[in-house]
Structure 1
Amino acid sequence: MAWPSIFQRGTLLSRFSHHHVVVFLLTFFSYSLLHASRKTFSNVKVSISKQWTPTAFNRSIEPEELWSSNHLFPSAEEATLFLGTLDTIFLFSYAVGLFISGIVGDRLNLRSVLSFGMCSSALVVFVFGTVTEWLHFYNKWLYCCLWIVNGLLQSTGWPCVVAVMGNWFGKAGRGAVFGLWSACASVGNILGACLASSVLQYGYEYAFLVTAAVQFAGGIVIFFGLLVSPEEIGLPGVEAEDHFEEDSHRPLINGAENEDDYEPNYSVQEGSTVAQVKAISLYQACCLPGVTLYSLAYACLKLVNYSFFFWLPFYLSNNFGWKEAEADKLSIWYDVGGIIGGTLQGFISDVLQKRAPVLALSLLLAIGSLVGYSRSPDNKSVNALLMAVTGFFIGGPSNMISSAISADLGRQELIQGSSEALATVTGIVDGTGSIGAAVGQYLVSLIQDNLGWMWVFYFFILMTSCTILFISPLIVRETCSLMRRRQARILSE
Structure 2
Amino acid sequence: MKAEVVFASLYIGYMLNIFAKRCVTFALPDIIKSEGFSKDDLGMILSGQMLAYAIGKFVAGLLIDSVSPALVLSLGYICSGVTVLLFASVPKSMWLYALLWILNGFATSPAWPSSAVIMKKWFSPEQFGTAWSLLSTSINMAGTLGPLLTAFLATYSGWRSSLLLPGSLLLGFGFLTLIFMKNAPEGSSHEHLDKGKPSENSKTKEASDTMSKRDLFWLPGYRGICFTYLIISTVQFGTMQWGPVYLVQDLGHSIIVGNSFISSLEIGGICGSVIAGYSSDHFLTKWKSRKLASRFSRQYVIGLFALGLAIFLNLLKTCVTSSSSMIWINIIGFGIGMTLYGPISVLGLAAMECAPEKMAGTAHAVVCLFSNFGQTISGYPLSLLLTWISWQSACMIQMIFVIQVAVYLLVNTTYSFKQASSSPKSD
Does the alignment reach a TM-score above 0.5?
Answer: yes
> Is 1:406 the counterpart of 2:341 in the alignment?
no
* AA aligned opposite 1:24: F
> Is 1:396 the counterpart of 2:322 in the alignment?
no
CA distance in 2, matches of 1:329, 1:207: 24
1:322–1:160: structure 2 CA closer, same or farther, 3 Å change rule? same
State the match for 2:268 in structure 1: 337
CA distance in 2, matches of 1:485, 1:290: 15
* AA aligned opposite 1:215: L
2:309 touches 2:402 (CA, 8 Å); kept in 1? no
Q: Which runs of 5+ in 2 are unaligned?
A: 192-202, 285-296
Superimposed CA distance per residue, residues 461-482 of structure 1 (whole angstroms, 9 cap, x where no aligned partner) = 6346435545754432212344
In the TM superposition, what is the alpha-carbon distance from 1:290 to its structure 2 partner? 2.7
CA distance in 1, matches of 2:244, 2:32: 13
Which of 282, 286, 311 matches 1:351? 282
Which of 430, 437, 447 matches 2:375? 437
* AA aligned opposite 2:269: G
1:104–1:482: structure 2 CA closer, same or farther, 3 Å change rule? closer
State the match for 2:2 in structure 1: 19
Superimposed CA distance per residue, residues 49-107 of structure 1 (whole angstroms, 9 cap, x where no aligned partner) = 5556xxxxxxxxxxxxxxxxx3x44xxxxx2x665555543333222212210121122
1:181–1:154: structure 2 CA closer, same or farther, 3 Å change rule? same
Aligned pairs (5 A) from 1:12-161: 19-50=2-33, 70=36, 72-73=37-38, 79=39, 86-128=45-87, 130-131=88-89, 135=91, 137-139=92-94, 141-161=95-115
Which of 212, 219, 230 matches 2:167? 212
**Structure with larger Rg:** 1
In the TM superposition, what is the alpha-carbon distance from 1:185 to its structure 2 partner? 1.9
Aligned pairs (5 A) from 1:173-322: 173-202=127-156, 203-230=158-185, 233-235=186-188, 274-276=205-207, 282-307=213-238, 322=255
* AA aligned opposite 2:302: L
1:385–1:473: structure 2 CA closer, same or farther, 3 Å change rule? closer
* AA aligned opposite 2:264: W
Superimposed CA distance per residue, residues 275-295 of structure 1 (whole angstroms, 9 cap, x where no aligned partner) = 426897543444433333312
State the match for 1:363 in structure 2: 306
* AA aligned opposite 1:408: E
CA distance in 2, matches of 1:186, 1:279: 39
> Is 1:422 the counterpart of 2:346 in the alignment?
no
Superimposed CA distance per residue, residues 230-252 of structure 1 (whole angstroms, 9 cap, x where no aligned partner) = 1xx225669xxxxxxxxxxxxxx
State the match for 1:476 in structure 2: 411
How many residues matched?
395
CA distance in 1, matches of 2:211, 2:30: 46
In the TM superposition, what is the alpha-carbon distance from 1:213 to its structure 2 partner? 2.1
1:116 touches 1:219 (CA, 8 Å); kept in 2? yes
2:303 touches 2:409 (CA, 8 Å); kept in 1? no
- Counterpart secondary structure, 1:95: helix
- Counterpart secondary structure, 2:12: helix
In the TM superposition, what is the alpha-carbon distance from 1:384 to its structure 2 partner? 3.8
If the length of structure 2 is used for normalisation, what is the TM-score? 0.77
In the TM superposition, what is the alpha-carbon distance from 1:313 to its structure 2 partner? 8.4
CA distance in 1, matches of 2:22, 2:248: 16
In the TM superposition, what is the alpha-carbon distance from 1:19 to its structure 2 partner? 0.7
Q: Which runs of 5+ in 1 are unaligned?
A: 1-17, 53-69, 74-78, 239-271, 489-493
Query: Which structure ranks higher in relative contact order (CA pairs < 8 Å, sequence separation ≥ 6)?
Result: 1
Residue identity over aligned pairs, in percent, reads 22
CA distance in 1, matches of 2:316, 2:42: 24
